[in-house]
Every structure is written in C-alpha cells, then in structure tokens.
Amino acid sequence: AGIDRLQEFFAAPLESLPPAAASPSPAEQQLPLVIEHVSFGYGKGPSLFRDFSLTVREGETVTLAGRTGVGKTTLFKLILGLYAPRTGSIRICGLDPRAIPAEKRRLLCCCVEQEFTAIDGSVRDQITLRDARVTEAAVQEALALTGMAEVCAQLPQGLATPFCPALFSQGQRQLLGIARAIALNPRLLLLDEITANLDALTERQIIRALQTASKDRAVLSISHRLYEASGGKVITLS
C-alpha cells in the first residue's frame, strides 16, 4: 500500500506556482491576512469551504472553532500555500502565499503545530533554523518572551548544547516552537492546537507565553483555551 501511494505521488503532474506578483499596495500590506470568497475541497470531493471570507488585522486574535474534520487545519494549509483554493483568493500582506519568495516567508507568517519538529543541531539551531538573519539578541528575546531563557541557560553547554528531546518536557518543546516562530517577528502567527494533550499547568504556562508573543501581531488560532484567555473573536466552521 505504501509503494502504491509513492507511485501515485510520483506520477502526479507538477503544479505550476503562480508568478510573482507586483508589489502590493500600501493598503494591502497593512492587512496581515485576507481570505476572499474561498472554496476548497480535496480532489473531486465535496467542498469543505464555500465562499469563505475572513480578514485578520494587526493586533487581532481570531480563533477557529468547529467539530473535528470540519477543515480548520486544512484552512491553515491553504494559508501557508500548501494547497490552492478552487476559487477565491488568499493574501498575506497582499501576497499570494504560494508566490511569496522563500526569503520573505518567515518574516510574514509562521505556524506553530501540535508537535515540535526538531532539526539536527544545537538548541540554538532549533530556534534559528540556521538562518543568519536571526541574531543572538533575537534568540534571547524570543526565549525571554516564552519563558525559556532560564531553562536553556541551565543546559550543560547553554544554547550550544546538542538538542535531544529528553532535555525538555513536551510543554517546553512547544515553547521552543513558539520561540522559533517569533524569532524574526512575523506579521502573522498561526497556532494549530498547540495546547492539545498537555496537562493543565503546562497549558497555562503556554497560554501566558502566547499572550505575550501575540501582542501587536495578527494571530489565527485553533485553540479555544487561547480564546478564553485572550479574547478576540471566534469563527465557527460548519
């Protein structure tokens, strides 16, 4: 079955990416996320979204609610440019997410997922992703905002300590994921159920870190706990 899926994948035609758009207008650049009349479904299946529109402004927190399978995570994948809508458009700071140059992506939008994905390297590398634009000052600020500065300072070699999952609890790994996401101060932050499967104490710690990290940036979240703690508005998908 696995081989069949691989063969099907490699036999699929390549999708053409949209051409790089002209520079968006100043008004468009002021809006971190604009979704206009989007419809989407997998393959030839029914549409998960029909004529869906949403605008998230700077300093605003919006939470997506709805039953499992309604399409909350799928919407994140559309925003990240992993899928293309059937109809309608999505713009991050005025740009089609599939056409955003690689060097600009991390400056505009970052996503924190349910599980922290580590890379080979040091603890510092987990935050910088070996991106030279992330300065030591930015690393320290991100760690301070997420409450991880003291934890990392106590490691055997500090931030130069080779990363190992056993060094951190699940909640601390999620906090590292938040630090990674905000290290280059993106305009838009996507949070995909990052407090799932955590105990109540760790969840409260992460919520506090998110409240600090979310200040003055647009946040789209799949987390009812964050909504309860931070307010904002709820969009219910059905």
Residue extents of the structural domains in the chain? 21-236
Please state, in angstroms and rounded to a whole number, the distance separating the CA atoms of residues 141 and 135. 10
pLDDT tens, 40-61?
998 888 888 899 999 999 988 8
Give the E-state strand segments of 19-164 in sequence order.
33-40, 49-56, 61-65, 87-91, 109-112
Ordered strands of the 49-56 beta sheet? 49-56, 33-40, 87-91
State which H helix or E strand residue 76 sits in: helix 72-79
Percentage of the chain beyond pLDDT 90 is: 53
pLDDT above 60 (res 127):
yes
Average pLDDT for residues 70-90, to the nearest whole number? 92
> At 181, is the pLDDT very low, low, confident or very high (cuts 50, 70, 90)?
very high
Q: What is the pLDDT of residue 231?
A: 64
Question: Domain 21-236 falls in which CATH fold?
Answer: Rossmann fold (3.40.50)
